[in-house]
Amino acid sequence: MKMWSGRFRQPPDSDFERWQRSFDFDRRLLTHELAASSAHARALANAGILSSSELISILQGLERIAEQAAVSPAFLEDSEAEDVHHFVEKNLVHLIGDTGYKLHSGRSRNEQIATDLRLYVRVCIDQLRAELAECLDALVEGAQRAGNAAMPAYTHLQRAEPVLMSHWLLAYVEMFIRDADRLVDCRKRLNFCPLGSGAVAGTTLPLDRRAMAIDLGFDAPTLNSIDATGDRDFVLEFVNALSMVGLHLSRWAEEMILFSSQEFDFVRLPEAYSTGSSAMPQKKNPDLLELTRGKAARIIGAATALAVTLKGLPLAYNKDLQETQEPLFDAAETVLALIPLVTNWMKAVEFNLDRMREAAQSGFMNAWAAATYLVQRGVPFRLAHEQVGKAVQLCLEKSCELQDLSVQELRQLNPLFDEDFYSCLDLTSVLALHDVPGGTAPGQVQRAVADAKRRIEFIREEAHAHA
C-alpha cells in the first residue's frame, strides 16, 4: 500500500512514480531508519498510543527486517518501495500485520529522513576520524624514519631553503589534523535529534522528544520543527569538510607526482600502487596519486551541488532535499575508500634520500643564512640582502656556490666577511639556524613530532569513544 494514496482519484503516472523514488540510494539508510523507528515506537508506547504487546511486536518486526537485510541482499531488491521509509513500513506490515501501520502515528517522513541523514553523517565522521588517525600515523612514522634527512623546500616551485624531510611531512600532518578537527566540529553541531518535529510544525502526539534523542545517542532534540525538517546544513557542512580533505589529499598527490618524475627523482613509486603502460614498456605511472587528485574534483563537485540545491529553497521540507542524498553518499564513500589507500601508499613509498640531500645543498639555498651572518654583525638586513645578492650574482658568473667564493672576493662586498662565514653555510648550520617553534631546526622538529603524536592519539581516542 502507498503511504499517501487516499486523496487521489488517479494513480500516479508509472514513469513519474518510478522516477521520483529514492529507494535505490536511500537504502543505505536502512539501519538508521530502523533505529529511529524503534525510538519512535518506544515513545509511542510511553505516550499510550501503542500497547506493550504492540510495541514488542513492532520492535521484533524491525529487528527481523534488519536481520533479513543483513543475510540476504536480494531482500533489498524491492521494486515497489518508494523510499527507505516506505520499505520499512511495507515489510513491517508484511511481518506483523496491520499493527505495523500504527508505527507511523504522529510522525512524518520529513523528520525521519532528517534524522536518518544525521545518523548517517555521524557514523561517517567517526569512521573518517579513525581513518585520518591511521593516515596521520603513517605520515608521522615517515617523519620519524626520515631522521635528519634534508631536502629543498620550494616557494614559487623554485628552490628556497633546505628543510628536514620530517618537517615537510609534518606540514601534511597539520593539514589532516585540521581536517579531523573540522569533522569533530561538524559532529558537535549535527548531534541533535529531529524526531518529534513532525511534518513541519511538531508532532501531534505527546511524544517524549528528549527520550528519543537520548535513545539515538543525540545530545538533545532539535529546537525548531520548521528548521529541523527543512535543514540540510549538516550535510553541506560535512561535505564541505570532505572537500577540504579532498583538496589536501590532492595537493599532497600533486607534490608526490611531481617529486616522482625523473626530473625531481625524490620519490620512488611503490609498484603495488602504480600501473604500467600498454604501449610503453618502461612506464611506471602514479595512478593512485592521479586518481586521488581527480577524486578531489568530484568531492568539491558534490559540495557545490549541495550548496546550489539548498540556496533557493523556501522553508521547510521540499522534495528537492531528496537530491542532497546522492552527493552526500558519493562524497562520503569516495573519501572513506580513498584514505586507507593513501595511508598504505605512504607506508610503501621510498624516498631517494641521496638525491634529496644533494638538491638541498645547491642552488644558493644558504643565501638567507649568509645574509643572517652579516645581520649578526650589525649590518642592516636590507644591505646584507643586497650584498649577498651580489655574491650570488658573482657565483652565477663563476658557476659556483657561495661557499666557493674566497674571503677576498667576499670582502669586496662587505669587509665584515671572515673565515667563520663558511661554517654558517653548510647544510647542518643552515637547518639549525631556523631554531624557532614551527621551524625546521632538528630540535624543534623533534618536539613537533612528539607533539603531533599526542594530538593524533587524541583524535584516535575520540573516534573510538564514539564508535
Nearest to 313 by CA among 196, 227, 377, 394: 227
Quick check: 255 binds ligand ARG (CB under 6 A)? no
156 given a catalytic annotation:
yes
Catalytic option among 53, 261, 277, 362: 277
Cβ nearer to ligand ARG, comparing 22 with 99: 22
Quick check: 321 binds ligand ARG (CB under 6 A)? yes
Cell digits of residue 29: 539508510
Min dist CB 309 to ligand ARG, Å, is 11
Quick check: 109 binds ligand ARG (CB under 6 A)? yes
Size of the site for ligand ARG (CB under 6 A): 11
Return the residues of window 301-320 that contact ligand ARG according to CB under 6 A.
Answer: 317, 319
Min dist CB 86 to ligand ARG, Å, is 8
277 given a catalytic annotation:
yes
Q: In the Cβ-directed half-sphere of 313, how many Cα atoms lie within 13 Å?
A: 23
Helix (H, G, I), strand (E, B) or coil at 351: strand
Quick check: 122 binds ligand ARG (CB under 6 A)? no
Helix (H, G, I), strand (E, B) or coil at 365: coil
Cβ nearer to ligand ARG, comparing 320 with 451: 320
Q: CB 15: neighbour CB atoms within 10 A?
A: 8
Cβ nearer to ligand ARG, comparing 10 with 406: 10
Cβ nearer to ligand ARG, comparing 85 with 209: 85
Task: Give the position of cell 529546537.
Answer: 223
Task: Give the position of cell 658573482.
Answer: 394
Min dist CB 10 to ligand ARG, Å, is 18
Nearest to 91 by CA among 104, 81, 79, 102: 81
Min dist CB 24 to ligand ARG, Å, is 11
Of the residues 322, 344, 361, 403, which one makes contact with ligand ARG according to CB under 6 A = 322
Quick check: 110 binds ligand ARG (CB under 6 A)? yes
Helix (H, G, I), strand (E, B) or coil at 405: coil
Alpha carbon distances (Å) from 362 to 107, 332, 402: 71, 44, 9
Return the residues of window 126-145 that contact ligand ARG according to CB under 6 A.
Answer: none
Quick check: 234 binds ligand ARG (CB under 6 A)? no
Helix (H, G, I), strand (E, B) or coil at 385: helix
Min dist CB 227 to ligand ARG, Å, is 16
Catalytic option among 14, 52, 79, 156: 156
Min dist CB 321 to ligand ARG, Å, is 5
Whether the bond between 316 and the residue before it is cis, its omega within 30 degrees of 0, is yes
- Site stretch for ligand ARG (CB under 6 A), options 107-115, 144-152, 270-278, 357-365: 107-115
Return the residues of window 2-41 that contact ligand ARG according to CB under 6 A.
Answer: 22, 26
Dihedral of alpha carbons 84, 87, 93, 95, sign: negative
Q: CB 261: neighbour CB atoms within 10 A?
A: 11
Cβ nearer to ligand ARG, comparing 83 with 237: 83
Quick check: 113 binds ligand ARG (CB under 6 A)? yes
Min dist CB 318 to ligand ARG, Å, is 9
Helix (H, G, I), strand (E, B) or coil at 153: strand
What backbone phi and psi angles, to 5 degrees, belong to 9? -90, -25
Alpha carbon distances (Å) from 436 to 191, 321, 431, 445: 40, 50, 11, 10
Min dist CB 323 to ligand ARG, Å, is 8
> For the chain, how many residues are written?
467
Quote the Cα angle for 27-31-36, to 5°: 110
Helix (H) or strand (E) holding 466: helix 442-466
Cβ nearer to ligand ARG, comparing 24 with 451: 24
Cβ nearer to ligand ARG, comparing 68 with 322: 322
| 150 CB-near residues (< 8 Å, 6+ apart) | 162, 163, 164, 165, 356, 357, 360, 361, 427, 431
Query: What track of x and - describes contact with ligand ARG for positions 386 through 425 (by CB under 6 A)?
Result: ----------------------------------------
Nearest to 392 by CA among 380, 403, 382, 381: 403
- Site stretch for ligand ARG (CB under 6 A), options 109-117, 131-139, 356-364, 388-396: 109-117
Return the residues of window 273-292 that contact ligand ARG according to CB under 6 A.
Answer: none
| 383 CB-near residues (< 8 Å, 6+ apart) | 374
Chain contacts with ligand ARG (rule: CB under 6 A): 22, 26, 83, 109-110, 113, 317, 319, 321-322, 325
Catalytic residues: 156, 277
